Structure 1
Amino acid sequence: MRVPALIRISAVSAALAASLVACSSLPSVPSQPARYDLGVPPPVQGSQATAFPVLALADIQSRTQHDASTAVLYRLAYADGQALQAYGQARWSQPPALLVQQRLREILGQGRTVLSAESGAQPPLVKGRPVPVLQLSLEEFSHTFTSADRSAGVLRLRATLVEPRRSGDTLLGQQVFAVQQPAASANAAGGTQALAQAVAEVGAQLQTWLNGVTPP
């Protein structure tokens, strides 16, 4: 018995519709979070006289988030200023403390030699003597909103410069650097850009401060 052409076409259409419905019920592929870093390094400037031509940089400490976290944090100061929250679709390319340390090393390396002071290891020696060690603590690194449409990248960094000695470290100086860089937009893209600018500003201030500390 031959099936009429109209019935065959209807059957094919029904099968195609069922296939489309099945495909539409499949879970969609989740979108990947946007990843941010601190952008292009600052241009290399000419060498300049420094108070500490050789410096050791210790591993930076972070009080804002877990060392392995890459979350981009924001704070609604106008609503609940004590709560830090994370953007759902934004991440740093590396833990922010590591990004800040790398960028500050690049800035401080303009005009001086920057060595590494590993935790628990003997400080680097130059001509048999330990070099001053710069210890950094990242105390705030967030996109902070003062209102629904006004925000800034807020960075607070504590710098401590010590001279290692067998009898104990000698404090050469300590300074807290706090910068608020206005954000161009009230989202993760604007916040990360403002924070990158804040790091560059703190790097310049840190460079000036180090040049003003009297060597031992």
Structure 2
Amino acid sequence: MKNMTCRFSTALTAVFILSSSLLLAACATDQQAAALFDLGPLRSHTPVNASAPLPALSIADIKAPIWLDSQAMFYRLNYANDLQPRPYSASKWTMAPAQLFLLRLKSRLSQAGGVVVPASDGAVNLPVLRIEADDFSQGFDSAGKSSANIAMRASIFDGRILRAQKMFVKQVPTTSADAQGGAAALAVASDAIIDEMTVWLATLPPKK
């Protein structure tokens, strides 16, 4: 009887180990199969109407709601329930979209002749650009029709004094109603908003 109990216990252990191994293998396969997207390579580009010189800036990390603060690529089924952001199961960003946008913004501003330093470096007397992301997702009006949607609020602070603030909203149709089409349209929308921000920054009144 004792031997039978030992054999049964050993068999259960083997089944548990096998099940755990299969689960880990499945998770690893899912991670390997996930398609990764970013905003694409930075191209030579000069924003329209950005002839005025850009001010030197400190740029703080972009604040984003919890649901956007991950690598997940989100979409909404506007025709079913537009109150529910849903993540793609097999597609992800290479990093949180707010970080991707911030890197793109810094590169674009530097490309346009601006001087950009992180707010964490504590540069003295530089205005600070703070951005809050409200949306960075793909919306489906039907199963075969979607668009990229970005909404960001930018604020310029001189110390604790708010000098200027503007809301930037952009919607760009996708060329395909899937994750790849969404990523491409979100990249276009990001560059369009960055262009508008660049023009806005170049036309801000000087610090009093």
Report the TM-score when normalising by structure 2.
0.79
User: Which structure's CA Rg is the greater one?
Assistant: 1
Q: How does 1:47-126 map to 2 (within 5 A)?
A: 48-52=51-55, 54-63=56-65, 65=67, 67=69, 69-109=70-110, 110-118=112-120, 123-125=122-124
Q: How does 1:116-155 map to 2 (within 5 A)?
A: 116-118=118-120, 123-125=122-124, 130-155=125-150
Q: Identify the structure with the greater helix proportion.
A: 2
What is the alpha-carbon distance in structure 2 between the residues aligned to residue 194 and residue 64 of structure 1?
A: 23
Q: CA deviation at 1:72?
A: 0.5
Among residues 154, 160, 165, which one is paired with 1:174 in the alignment?
A: 165
Where do 5+ consecutive residues of structure 2 fail to align? 1-21
In the alignment of these two chains, the number of paired residues is: 178
| Offset from partner CA, 1:116-169 (integer Å, 9 cap, x none) | 102xx7x312xxxx11000011110001111221111100010000101xxxx1
What is the alpha-carbon distance in structure 2 between the residues aligned to residue 157 and residue 42 of structure 1?
A: 23
Q: CA deviation at 1:65?
A: 2.1
Tell me the amino acid that sits aligned with residue 134 of structure 1. L
What is the alpha-carbon distance in structure 2 between the residues aligned to residue 51 and residue 39 of structure 1?
A: 24
Contact 1:62 1:137 in 2 (8 A): yes
What is the alpha-carbon distance in structure 2 between the residues aligned to residue 77 and residue 174 of structure 1?
A: 29
Report the TM-score when normalising by structure 1.
0.77
What is the alpha-carbon distance in structure 2 between the residues aligned to residue 199 and residue 183 of structure 1?
A: 13
| Offset from partner CA, 1:156-207 (integer Å, 9 cap, x none) | 010000101xxxx111100000000110001000001000110000000001
What is the alpha-carbon distance in structure 1 between the residues aligned to residue 169 and residue 51 of structure 2?
A: 25
2:37 — aligned with what? 36
The alignment's C-alpha RMSD in Å is 2.1
- 4+ residue runs over 6 A deviation: none
1:203 — aligned with what? 194
Tell me the amino acid that sits aligned with residue 203 of structure 1. I
Contact 2:173 2:185 in 1 (8 A): yes
What is the alpha-carbon distance in structure 1 between the residues aligned to residue 146 and residue 167 of structure 2?
A: 22
Q: Secondary structure at the match of 1:65?
A: helix
What is the alpha-carbon distance in structure 1 between the residues aligned to residue 134 and residue 66 of structure 2?
A: 6
Q: CA deviation at 1:44?
A: 5.0
Contact 1:143 1:153 in 2 (8 A): yes
1:163 — aligned with what? 158
Where do 5+ consecutive residues of structure 1 fail to align? 1-25
Q: Secondary structure at the match of 1:208?
A: helix
Q: Assess, with a 3 A threshold, how the Cα gap between structure 1 residues 51 and 100 changes in structure 2: closer, same or farther.
A: closer
Q: Assess, with a 3 A threshold, how the Cα gap between structure 1 residues 51 and 172 changes in structure 2: closer, same or farther.
A: farther
